[in-house]
């Protein structure tokens, strides 16, 4: 089974079922890609995985989660991006760029006043992350455009697709959570409104790139905190994104306040798969739902 090919609905085919999920490389220099990233993905592509997903590539300067994140907002680093894509796609490998904005999960050394859907401070982060300010409606629209532009640049560079990071308490995850998103405009309140930011990002990317370019999502199964994004919310988001035609969904969970993505329970130790049980309960069992990869937490 692991060595069988996997056909995505847009026609792209992974040569096997080995899927390297995102890991934070921290190899950028001045937030631009480097030769070190090229060499790393050259090594990984030669390792034989069918799909490689990069670590965070941030869509805006104010969205960094770590000091050495790649930030991709223009084509100044296109030559290095192309070399990165070429290295990661050798050996018939699909290379997916994970695109993200940290929102309020941005350390104070990077963001003195981070941004978020609502001005709700993270608990237990005093001294590391400052309280956020609420995004204006116009800023939200601008950030939608930032995600779209980063995806367009990834396609131009030769990547196989992008993965929208909607998990782990970053900005999209914050919009999805009723605890972190307390807005009373079209971006908050009902789940339909809370997922609007994600939906508009996805639809904008899909309209801006070619049909063979993969567009996927990393999504929390739950935030694992009182009043947050829960399993029922997650299933409804999966159903919506599947209806819209998303190519794949990777399931994870937790955030900085409740880091379940780093917790290995007894069931995980037995299966080697974080959140696999939650995936089994969800819409991934329905024929219309997107395909899941649930094995990797980062």
Spatial contact of 98 and 163, defined as CB atoms under 8 Å apart: yes
pLDDT in tens, 46-70: 999 999 999 999 999 999 999 999 9
Q: Select from 164, 296, 144 the least CA-distant residue to 218.
A: 164
Is pLDDT above 70 for 292? no
> What average pLDDT score do residues 198-224 get?
96
Q: Strand (E) positions, 38-148?
A: 51-53, 57-58, 70-71, 94-100, 115-116, 133-134
> What average pLDDT score do residues 270-282 get?
51
pLDDT score of 265: 54
Is pLDDT above 90 for 213? yes
CATH architecture observed for domain 6-293 = Alpha-Beta Barrel (3.20)
pLDDT score of 109: 96
Higher pLDDT, 290 or 155: 155
The proportion of the chain whose per-residue pLDDT surpasses 90, expressed as a percent, equals 80
- Report the alpha-carbon angle 97-100-104, nearest 5: 160
pTM here is 0.89
pLDDT in tens, 251-275: 998 787 876 655 645 554 454 545 5
pLDDT score of 271: 46
Cβ-defined contacts of 76-80 (< 8 Å, 24+)? 76/32, 77/32, 77/33, 78/153, 78/156, 78/157, 80/32, 80/33, 80/34, 80/35, 80/37, 80/38
CA torsion sign for 226, 232, 233, 235 is positive
> What average pLDDT score do residues 119-127 get?
92
pLDDT score of 256: 79
Is pLDDT above 60 for 234? yes
Question: Could you tell me which residues come within 8 angstroms of residue 75 by beta carbon, excluding any fewer than 6 positions away?
Answer: 153, 156
pLDDT score of 278: 54
Is pLDDT above 70 for 296? no
**Domain ranges (residues) in the chain:** 6-293
Q: Where are the alpha helices (DSSP H) in the chain?
A: 35-46, 78-89, 137-157, 171-176, 191-194, 196-208, 231-244, 266-271, 276-281
């Amino acid at each position: 089974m692991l060595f069988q090919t996997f056909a995505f609905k847009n026609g792209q085919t992974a040569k096997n079922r080995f899927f390297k999920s995102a890991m934070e490389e921290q190899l950028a220099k001045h937030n631009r890609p480097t030769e070190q990233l090229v060499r790393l993905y050259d090594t990984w592509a030669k390792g034989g995985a069918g799909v490689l997903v990069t670590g965070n590539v941030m869509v805006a300067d104010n969205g960094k989660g770590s000091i050495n994140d790649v930030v991709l907002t223009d084509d100044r680093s296109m030559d290095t991006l192309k070399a990165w894509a070429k290295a990661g796609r050798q050996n018939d490998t699909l290379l997916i760029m994970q695109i993200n904005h940290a929102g309020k999960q941005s350390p104070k050394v990077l963001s003195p006043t981070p941004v978020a859907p609502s001005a709700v401070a993270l608990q237990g982060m005093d001294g590391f992350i400052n309280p956020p300010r609420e995004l204006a409606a116009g800023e939200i629209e601008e950030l939608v455009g930032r995600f779209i532009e980063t995806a367009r640049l990834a396609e131009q560079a030769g990547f196989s697709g992008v993965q929208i990071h909607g998990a782990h308490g970053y900005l999209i995850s914050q919009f999805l959570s009723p605890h972190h998103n307390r807005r009373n405009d079209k971006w908050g309140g009902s789940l339909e409104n809370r997922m609007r930011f994600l939906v508009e990002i996805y639809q904008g990317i899909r309209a801006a790139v070619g049909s063979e370019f993969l567009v996927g999502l990393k999504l929390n199964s739950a935030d694992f905190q009182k009043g947050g994004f829960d399993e029922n919310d997650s299933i409804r988001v999966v159903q919506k994104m599947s209806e819209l035609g998303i190519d794949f969904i990777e399931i994870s969970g937790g955030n900085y306040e409740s880091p379940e993505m780093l917790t290995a329970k007894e069931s995980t130790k037995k299966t080697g798969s974080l959140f696999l049980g939650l995936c089994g309960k969800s819409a991934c069992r329905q024929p219309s739902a997107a395909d899941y990869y649930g094995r990797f937490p980062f």
